Structure 1
Amino acid sequence: MKNPSEKFLEKIGLKQPTAAAAEPVEKENDRRSFLKKASLGGIALGSFMFSSIEDTLAQSTSKVNRSSSPSDLKITDMRFAVVMNGHMRCPVIRIDTNQGISGLGEVRDGASHKYALFLKSRILGMNPCSVEQIFKRIKQFGFHGRQGGGVCAVEMALWDLAGKAYNVPAYQLLGGKYRDKVRLYADTPEGDNEADFVAKVNKRITEEGFTFMKMDFGIELLKGIPGTTSNSNFWDIGRQWTNEPNTYGGTEHPFTQVQITDKGLDLLAQRISIVREKIGYEIPLASDHYGHFDHNNAIRLGRAVEKYRLAWLEDLIPWRFTEQWRQITEAIETPTLTGEDIYLKEEFIKLIDAHAVDLVHPDLATSGGLLETKKIGDYAEEKGVAMAMHFAGTPVSFMASVHCAAATQNFVALEHHSVDVDYWTSLVKTKKPMIEKGFANVLDSPGLGIELNDEVMKKHLDPENSSYFAPTPEWDKDRSWDRLWS
């Protein structure tokens, strides 16, 4: 009986079968060619002749890249750096392991790095490849809006780590990809005058290659114009982005009781008309940031702009008013969309089941990370609802969003909010460009496929927090009794 070594040598052509007849000259030449190439490649003939089959296989595969031993990985540290993305503060975290590989994640734009650092003591010593187990352990510490940013940052970093450990891109760990490129949508730029506006729009389309645009048209534009809004003698409608108590910006939409007049609707429609005239109807045009008014005025606004065939009306009212969203959606023809501030799939499911919106719009840095966002998309797909994705951060959460979008079938487009930040793409290093002609490349490098460009990152740190991945031992043992059941 042949031993395993003999069978192996016979299989790869280094030993003739014992009962075989003499082989043709061509096969003998092939064998000599193999032996020559093998020796040149570092596989010594002696190792085949005198070693066990296990040693032979080990030597013959010695050049194979083994990034890690995934089952033995342990989380050893979490550190952070806060980078300025234009005017927006964006915390980037790094999770380190006992095997020298690290994963990158990002807390939602504008949020505090402490949302993530708070979780460090809960995950130290765990295997980062157990992504779902860790996610279930920490998800109780997230919430809607920016408060979900810490959990999502950790989840992103875990997928980056797992991809590096198994030497595959993150999308493959989510089940594979539906597309090689991810369609992006960008804001229409503002200009100092009409000629400047037209030039900037043309650049978006012809030079930058975007095939999907979004614009803002809100009642801020009507501030100071008599006869355009009602109840604006009490509320300052020009302060949508404030958050102080009892201000217009800090009051949810239904509770301002601001109304838009026919004159106001005509002026807002004129703004859309100008943009439509410049970009045409072939390019989808979405819309956002209308101001704070109730669902009745949202319906009036939606009907007033229907002829412009907008891709969607986004966040007309807060996402949590499900029944009011359903009334808006049923009353107008333009698609409705919300979701960038929703944490976890459960609230998306309520909107989807109620047929309250036409598209869902998660931001992966709030919604729960890559896997949770894919679950949201998959559920929406089963119910006939499409998914666009919100994004306004650094290339870290951008590439996390790209991998998720690639792996989700009902995906429509991903927002790119930093087109005009000139250093944005240079914050990271990649083997191929992240973006080409209005589409994101789905990178095939392990994990998220990016490496921080330390030199550029350090030039754009938050001036109020300029440390760069410094040790964080103060978060190692900050614990409490976290179990939610007795």
Structure 2
Amino acid sequence: MKIVDLKVRCVAIPLTCQLRHNTGVHPGYFLRTVLELITDEGIVGLGEVGGGDQRGALTKLKPRIVGMDPFHLEAIKLKVLRSIYYMSNARLYAAIEMACLDIQGKAMNRSLSDLLGGSVRDQIPMIAYLFWRYDRPDGKDDACAEDMADWCVELNETLGVKSMKLKAGVMEPGEEARVLELCRERLGPDFGLRIDPNGVWSVPTAVRIGRRLEPLAIEYFEDPSWGLNGNAAVRSQVNIPVATNMYPNKFDDLAPAVKMGSVDIVLTDIHYWEGPRGVKDLAAICRTFNLGVAMHSGAEFGIELAAMLHTASTIPEMTFAGDAHYHYLTDDIIAGGLMPYKDGCIQVPTGPGLGVELDEEKMEKYEREYEKRGDYYARFHQDPKRPDWYPIVGGL
């Protein structure tokens, strides 16, 4: 079997609101680049990647992989990821690996999870991912901790989720701490609480807020301050597990993180960690050093979500509920539309490969949506309601 063609398309799907974060605002839609690898046997593998319009970057890699066997992933990785350091892009390789594994599964009539060692669970619990919102369905903006606690309770009731994570670093840190305090009060002692300022807080601020949150017995404090040093400094002073999807988020930084004591829990991400097989490599290293593993969300659509669910299902120690921006999407590009939540979980897809297929009508619709709205990564780090604002690391 050989890869004979590579096709790429950009799609944009509207959200229920605008999502604020500490470096800007998602402007009411997510966009993804969808990859299709075609083989000489007529099998098509699907991949997906974020980070803006990646069509040009993936097309440049086409000559490197056309003619390759989709089962020969080590050689493909060497050709598209390891070859030249300044062209190395784990995101692009991950999308290609995803598509190759989809081809492999379809060729053998086995699921992607079977290719990774087999599932130990058939559904993955997910969190209530809380963002401070502009332009909610009721037309209002989130303005205080009570708004966010109300949103968490609503997601608990409608989706059945039993854990939350607050995307922090947007409001005054004490107000964001109050969100978790209200959620503990309203949802009880067993509801999982997490907070993630994405490294924007100074070490003194992160330590102060961390100590305030210690009585809540939260699951983890994600990227409380900037860099390996920042996380290590906070971890040494706060009695809460420190998690990360930023430091480290690549294999090069994993050994220093372990040596420095920067982290207790690593959030796996298919794109940062070089595809589903790379996530499995990461899980093995975490097991060696007794680090926890959780699942990071990158604003994915159904193709990548399927890959995430398959991968998570094969990692026994991944007992934390997974991150997902998914409940903010109004639709999906896969046949059948949005995957449903049931009792706070999403089912691992069944069927060969990823277990999902594209809905071509939806693809055409959301290609048009992308052409209308454009690539927002040029204005991702802006706030439309605060035109003079810009992010400052350590400014809080």
**1:189/1:463 CA distance change after superposition, 3 Å:** closer
Separation in 2, partners of 1:360, 1:184: 17
Distance between the aligned counterparts of 1:205 and 1:343, measured in 2?
30
Cα offsets for 1:357-392 (capped at 9, x unmatched): 110013212220000011101210121111111112
Say if 2:302 is the partner of 1:395.
yes
Q: Is 2:168 the counterpart of 1:217?
A: yes
Query: Would the aligned equivalents of 1:207 and 1:437 in 2 still touch at CA under 8 Å?
Result: no
Contact 1:340 1:363 in 2 (8 A): no
Aligned-partner Cα distance in 2 for 1:458–1:301: 46
Do the aligned partners of residues 76 and 205 (structure 1) sit closer, same or farther apart at CA in structure 2, a change above 3 Å counting? same
Task: Tell me by how many angstroms 1:75 deviates.
Answer: 0.3
Query: What residue in structure 2 maps to residue 97 of structure 1?
Result: 39
Match of 1:299 among 186, 203, 207: 207
Check if 1:409 corresponds to 2:333.
no
How far 1:350 sits from its partner (Å)? 3.1
CA, structure 1 residues 450+141, in 2 after alignment: closer, same or farther (shift >3 Å)? farther
Equivalent residue, structure 2, for 1:205: 156
Q: 1:266 to 1:429 in 2, by over 3 A?
A: closer
1:278 to partner: Cα distance: 2.5
**Equivalent position SS for 2:326:** coil
- Superposed CA RMSD in Å reads 2.8
Aligned residue among 309, 318, 342 for 2:217: 309
Q: Does 1:130 align with 2:81?
A: no
Distance between the aligned counterparts of 2:268 and 2:82, measured in 1? 19
For residue 400 of structure 1, report the CA deviation from its aligned partner.
Answer: 0.8
Whole-Å Cα distance in 1 between the matches of residues 199 and 165 of structure 2? 16
Contact kept in structure 2, 1:341 and 1:362, CA below 8 Å: no
**Equivalent residue, structure 1, for 2:2:** 74
Query: Using a 3 Å threshold, how does the CA distance of structure 1 residues 274 and 333 change in structure 2: closer, same or farther?
Result: same
Q: Which letter maps to 2:327?
A: V
Q: 2-side partners of 1:268 and 1:403: how far apart?
A: 33
- Amino acid paired to 1:394: F
How far is the alpha carbon of 1:216 from its aligned partner?
2.6
Q: Which has the higher contact order (CA 8 A, sep 6+)?
A: 2
The equivalent residue for 1:18 is none
Inter-CA distance 116–189: structure 2 relative to 1 (3 Å threshold) = same
With normalisation by structure 2, the TM-score equals 0.79
1:436 Cα offset (Å): 2.5
Quick one: structure 1 residues 130 and 429, their matched pair in 2 at CA, closer, same or farther if it must change by over 3 Å? same
Shift of the 275–435 alpha-carbon distance from structure 1 to 2, 3 Å rule, reads closer
For 1:298 and 1:199, the matched residues in 2 are separated by: 25
Q: Contact 2:111 / 2:355 at 8 angstroms: preserved in 1?
A: yes
Partner of 2:359: 453
C-alpha separation in 1, matches of 2:153 and 2:100:
40
What whole-Å deviation, never above 9, does each CA across 1:148-192 have from its counterpart, x for those lacking one?
321111111111111111110011111112211112112136575
Paired with 1:444 and 1:451, the residues of 2 have a C-alpha distance of: 12
Deviation at 1:267, TM superposition (A): 3.7
Instruction: Give the number of equivalent residue pairs.
Output: 346
1:31-430 → structure 2 map (5 Å cutoff): 73-86=1-14, 87-110=29-52, 112-140=54-82, 147-188=89-130, 192=140, 200-218=151-169, 220-222=170-172, 266-289=174-197, 292-318=200-226, 321-340=227-246, 344-391=250-297, 392-411=299-318, 412-424=320-332, 427-429=333-335
Partner Cα separation in structure 2 for residue 161 and residue 371 of structure 1: 15
1:11-50 equivalence runs, <5 A: none
Shift of 1:344: 4.1
**Counterpart-to-counterpart distance in 2, 1:129 and 1:310:** 42
In structure 2, the partner of 1:25 is none
Which moves more between the two structures, 99-108 or 279-288?
279-288
Q: Per the alignment, do residues 307 and 432 of structure 1 end up closer, same or farther by CA in structure 2, a change over 3 Å counting? A: closer
Secondary structure in structure 1 of the residue aligned to 2:183: helix
Residue 340 of structure 1 deviates from its aligned partner by 4.8
Q: Which amino acid aligns with 1:385?
A: L
Residue type of the alignment partner of 2:118? G
CA distance in structure 2 between the partners assigned to 1:438 and 1:298 by the alignment: 30
| SS class of match (1:140) | coil
| CA distances 1:274-294 after superposition (whole Å, capped 9, x unpaired) | 233232221101111366343
State the Cα deviation string for residues 11-30 of structure 1 (Å, max 9, x = none).
xxxxxxxxxxxxxxxxxxxx
Q: What SS class does the counterpart of residue 46 from structure 2 fall into?
A: strand
Label 1:386 to 1:214 Cα distance change in 2 as closer, same or farther (>3 A).
Answer: same
Stretches of structure 1 lacking an aligned partner (at least 5 in a row): 1-72, 223-264, 467-486
Residue 432 of structure 1, CA deviation: 11
User: What SS does structure 2 have at the residue aligned with 1:396?
Assistant: helix
Distance in 2 of aligned mates of 1:460 and 1:280: 40
Amino acid aligned to 1:274: L
Question: CA distance change for structure 1 residues 353 and 408 in 2, over 3 Å: closer, same or farther?
Answer: farther
Q: Distance in 1 between matches of 2:223 and 2:83?
A: 25
In structure 2, relative to structure 1, the CA distance for the partners of 1:401 and 1:78 (3 Å cut) is same
State the secondary structure of the residue aligned to 2:120.
Answer: coil
